[in-house]
């Protein structure tokens, strides 16, 4: 459950820095970890997270080529 902590500011723990999409995905991953610890397996949510990650990677690939 440390996905969100990667975006936390060291000097102001209530602030998170990063892209909104990355922070939202980190929150979802932490939620899945929490549910898995409690004995629930949420495969649909895990699948959705993977879909969102692939979409973000695809967008980054297209936006990166436009600047060249």
What pairs with residue 16 in β-bridges?
8
Position 5 scores a pLDDT of 92
Position 62 scores a pLDDT of 73
Distance of CA 33 to the CA centre of its chain: 12
Sign, CA torsion 20/57/31/17? negative
Rounded-to-integer distance, Cα 8 and Cα 26, Å = 11
pLDDT in tens, 3-39: 999 999 999 988 999 999 999 999 999 999 999 999 8
pLDDT in tens, 33-68: 999 999 888 888 899 899 999 999 998 887 554 444
SS3 label, residue 19: coil
């Amino acid at each position: 459950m440390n996905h969100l902590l990667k975006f936390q500011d060291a000097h102001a723990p209530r602030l998170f820095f990063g892209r909104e999409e990355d922070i939202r995905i980190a929150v979802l991953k932490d939620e899945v970890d929490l549910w898995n610890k409690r004995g629930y397996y949420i495969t649909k949510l895990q699948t959705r997270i993977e879909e969102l990650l692939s979409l973000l990677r695809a967008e980054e690939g297209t936006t990166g080529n436009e600047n060249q």
